[in-house]
Amino acid sequence: MNKVILLAALVLLVVIVGGGIWFLNAMQQPLYEPGMVRAGKNLRAPLTPPPQSAPQDFWNAESDIRLHYFADGAGAHVLVVHGGPGFPFTQPVPGLQALTTGYKFYYYDQRGSGKSSRPIDKFASSNYYENTQTLDKALGIGAQIADIERIRQILGDDKIILVGHSFGGFLAALYAAEFPERVRALILVAPAEVLLMPPASGGLFEQVKPLLPDTLRPEYAAYLKRYLDYGAIFSKSEAELVSLNTEFARYYTVAANQNGFAVPASSQPTEAGGWMVHALYISMGQRHDYRAALKAVNAPALVIHGERDLQPAEASRMYADLLPHVEFHVIPNAGHFVFNDQPEAFARVVGAFLGRIK
């Protein structure tokens, strides 16, 4: 009898260990793969947007998802995709102001951030796998790319011009890869170093660390431990995650200032995302390679990098090397927010590029 019990215990242990290894491996794999949105996979609503009965300054993306936006200028439509992830623009960026006589720039808050809908507050379930699936469908990469396609349809454009900054550049590039026939031009400003994970440089969190004063580094290390505690992620609320995401902006600002540049007021996290930030991380997984997808982009593309960005030039260059029809510009004496640091130079480069687009 004791042998039977021991054998059963050993079998159970093997199952638990094997299941744990499978689970850890699954959490490393991406939930999003290029092409999924176009195929309508892993979406909670159709790509065709519902009727637009939303209040002014809001678009209906789904029956329960409204996207807040504001516009600046007149002319051809340009959709500006903010970065962060989860830090919307609160006012037009200076580097695009000189172009508002020929273009109408639409700035929108991605779902789960700013004044847009936040479909998840807190998870009641303890089922980790089901929660990741729910989170990904509601707020992940696929949901964000689908919203760009819905906005294009709402604006009535056969093809749209996209400007993506930082993580928004990553999203804009993936949209152009999924819907190449729907993009008139693609402008990527300091696109995030997440096409290939893990990144060669160690990523944003590592880039911030050496620029912090010695007195702040232990606090930053403790913060990252709290921020990246995915074992307890589903015990948190939207408000708690907003607070955590906002806290990172403090460290980033210190690092940027140390590097000689300020984080502009238009990008301060006054209405940061909560769950949407972690939905995007979970969508990507810890290991993926999306580089091949960019070869499908057939629109003219412009990649801009600030010479003194915390993010290495190689990150922006990776996008430029993969896009078939691309121009690459490094703007001197500029950081990550190049459109604020050197607005006139930025406007000249973007204006000249758009002027060559038919």
Residue 39 lies in a domain: no
Residue 24 lies in a domain: no
Residue 128 lies in a domain: yes
Residue 289 lies in a domain: yes
The predicted pLDDT at position 27 comes to 55
The predicted pLDDT at position 259 comes to 73
pLDDT in single tens digits along all 358 residues of the chain: 454 444 443 343 333 333 333 344 445 789 999 999 999 999 999 999 999 986 789 999 999 999 999 999 999 999 999 999 999 999 999 999 999 999 999 999 999 999 999 999 999 999 999 999 999 999 999 999 999 999 999 999 999 999 999 999 999 999 999 999 999 999 999 999 999 999 988 899 999 999 999 999 999 999 999 999 999 999 999 999 999 999 998 999 999 888 776 676 555 456 899 999 999 999 999 999 999 999 999 999 999 999 999 999 999 999 999 999 999 999 999 999 999 999 999 999 999 999 999 7
Which of 257, 79, 262 is closest to 159 using CA atoms?
Answer: 79
The predicted pLDDT at position 23 comes to 41
The predicted pLDDT at position 26 comes to 46
> How far apart (Å, rounded) are the C-alpha atoms in residues 290 and 96?
29
Q: What is the 3 state secondary structure string of the chain?
A: CHHHHHHHHHHHHHHHHHHHHHHHHHHHCCCCCCCCCCCCCCCCCCCCCCCCCCCCCEEEEECCEEEEEEEEECCEEEEEECCCCCCCCCCCCHHHHCCCCCEEEEEECCCCCCCCCCCCCECCCCCHHHHHHHHHHHHCHHHHHHHHHHHHHHHCCCCEEEEEECHHHHHHHHHHHHCHHHEEEEEEECCCCCCEECCCCCCHHHHHHHHCCCCCHHHHHHHHHHHCCCCCHHHCEHHHHHHHHHHHHHHHHHHHHHCCCCCCHHHCCCCCCCHHHHHHHHHHCCCEECHHHHHHCCCCEEEEEECCCCCCHHHHHHHHHHCCCEEEEEECCCCCCHHHHCHHHHHHHHHHHHHCCC
Residue 41 lies in a domain: no
Residue partners of 318: CB distance under 8 A and separation at least 6: 193, 195, 196, 291
Domain that holds residue 251: 58-355
The predicted pLDDT at position 16 comes to 35
Count of domains observed in the chain: 1
Residue 46 lies in a domain: no
Residue 256 lies in a domain: yes
Residue 59 class from Cβ within 10 Å (0-12 exposed, 13-18 middle, 19+ buried)? buried
Q: Which pair of structure tokens corresponds to residue 11?
A: 């079998």
- Taking the CA atoms of the chain, what radius of gyration do you get in angstroms? 21
Residue 197 lies in a domain: yes
CATH code for position 299? 3.40.50.1820
Amino acid at 323: L
